[in-house]
Amino acid sequence: MNVNDEKMIPEIVARLEKAWNAADGAGFAQPFAEDADFVNIRADHFKTREVIARGHQGIFDTIYKGSVVRYQMAGVREIAPRVLLVHVNATLQVPAGPFAGTHNSLFTMVLVQNENEWRIAAFHNTLVA
Amino acid sequence: MNVNDEKMIPEIVARLEKAWNAADGAGFAQPFAEDADFVNIRADHFKTREVIARGHQGIFDTIYKGSVVRYQMAGVREIAPRVLLVHVNATLQVPAGPFAGTHNSLFTMVLVQNENEWRIAAFHNTLVA
């Protein structure tokens, strides 16, 4: 992991956060690999960037409308060449609707570098009990 | 991924299942890398094989005493050389206590090969809503 790689991680996390807070499903999915796997807090399992984009746009427009997320890096570890394991704490504030309130979660991301570009290959999120 | 690698994955999953059902914390942790990361359904984050072993022995002896788990492979994908992303569906039956009943979950595992040996580098579990 070189200096550029170290900068890349918070940049990806910041991009996810910014896209969520702009209710931008395609923007949220943009750092994901085309064939990425995504498991949400309900254990729903989504595959491909396109499906991740569509699914997020769906929640941004409905149950999580107007919600604000804050991410905080909890750890980074290189588990193989060009493969990083990243843990992030999330705090989601939902203003109204069936999920109104504050929700804390912890997600694992696996980042993989291909041809100098880092992408999220896998994402798995769990609500803090 | 060669034929031996393909056999290795269900073997690791079967080992986890067998150790859980024998209430064997050290056996459950054995396929993990020494520095593995583990996130459970409460978003508790454990690090190192030793801590994973101890934590599991703790739940096997208390809240999950006498429980029986069944794992079913949900997917395998090679995300980088010698790095596999594995998804597994779990059904846990707890006979008594505060968590008595049946609990379904989906976990993500990241397997990494070092010197011909595959180990679980990361594990993240979420209850099915």
Give the DSSP per-residue string, chain A. Answer: --HHHHHHHHHHHHHHHHHHHTT-HHHHHTTEEEEEEEE-TT--EEESHHHHHHHHHHHHHTTTTT-EEEEEEEEEEEEETTEEEEEEEEEEEE-SSTT-EEEEEEEEEEEEEETTEEEEEEEEEEE--
Which pLDDT score is estimated for B6? Answer: 78
Share of chain B above pLDDT 70, in %: 98
Q: Which residues of B touch A (CB under 8 A)?
A: 35, 37, 39-45, 74-75, 77, 79-83, 85, 87, 104-108, 110, 112, 121-122, 124-129
Residue A6 has pLDDT above 80, yes or no: no
Residue A4 has pLDDT above 80, yes or no: no
Handedness of CA A106, A112, A117, A120 (dihedral sign): negative
Amino acid at B106: L
**CB spacing of A126 vs B42 below 8 angstroms:** yes
Please name the helix (run of DSSP H) or strand (run of DSSP E) that holds residue B6, with its range, or none: helix B3-21
A87 — phi, psi (to 5°)?
-115, 135
Report d(CA A39, CA A91) in Å as an integer: 17
Q: Model confidence at A111, in pLDDT bands (50, 70, 90)?
A: very high
Handedness of CA A91, A26, A7, A110 (dihedral sign): positive
Report d(CA B4, CA B1) in Å as an integer: 8
Report d(CA B58, CA B80) in Å as an integer: 35
pLDDT, tens digit, 9 for 90 and up, residues B45-83 = 999 999 999 999 999 999 999 999 999 999 999 999 999
Which pLDDT score is estimated for B4? Answer: 72
Residue B102 has pLDDT above 90, yes or no: yes
pTM given for the model: 0.96
Chain B partners within 8 Å of A39 (Cβ): 87, 106, 108, 124, 126
Q: Which residues of A touch B (CB under 8 A)?
A: 35, 37, 39-45, 74-75, 77, 79-83, 85, 87, 104-108, 110, 112, 121-122, 124-129
**CB spacing of B128 vs A45 below 8 angstroms:** no
User: Under DSSP, is residue B115 helix (H, G, I), strand (E, B) or coil?
Assistant: coil
Q: Which of B83, B84, B126 to mutate to test the interface with A (most CBs of A within 10 A)?
A: B126
User: In a 10 Å sphere around its CB, with 0-12 CB exposed, 13-18 middle and 19+ buried, how is residue B20 labelled?
Assistant: buried
Pairwise pLDDT comparison (A3 vs A62), residue with the higher score? A62
